[in-house]
Amino acid sequence: DTAVSQTPKYLVTQMGNDKSIKCEQNLGHDTMYWYKQDSKKFLKIMFSYNNKELIINETVPNRFSPKSPDKAHLNLHINSLELGDSAVYFCASSQGNSLNQPQHFGDGTRLSIL
C-alpha cells in the first residue's frame, strides 16, 4: 500500500554511464516532482509534471530527462553520469499544482557515482 514508490533504492554506477530511476504513485495525484538532496542535505526541486505536462524545469543539465508516461508515473533518466550527480533523488506527488496541498514523498534513491 506504498503511496509513492521509487526504484531502485540504491544505485551505484560508474561515471559516464546512463541510468534511470522510476517513480510511481497510487494516490491518484495529478502532479509529480523530482527533487535532489545533496550531501549537505539541501533539498532542491528539479522538475514538476502536472497531468503528464512539464510545468517546472529548473536549471538542471539536459543530461537529466524526466518522462511521464501517465499521471501515476514520473521516471528520471540520466545520461553520462558525473561525480557531481551523486545525491539522493526524491520523487513526490500532490493533488493539483497549486502547492496548497501537502506533498507526499518517496523514500529516495541514493545514487553514488564511482
Binding residues vs other proteins (CB under 8 A): 4, 40-45, 48, 56, 58, 90, 92, 97, 99-108
Task: Compute the least distance from the CB of residue 86 to other proteins, in Å.
Answer: 16
Task: Compute the least distance from the CB of residue 81 to other proteins, in Å.
Answer: 22
Contacts of the segment 46-55: beta carbons below 8 A, 24+ positions apart: 46/76, 47/74, 47/76, 48/97, 49/74, 50/96, 50/97, 55/31, 55/97
Which of 17, 29 has the CB closer to other proteins?
A: 29
What is the distance between the alpha carbons of residues 17 and 38, in angstroms, rounded to a whole number?
A: 20
Which of 80, 112 has the CB closer to other proteins?
A: 112
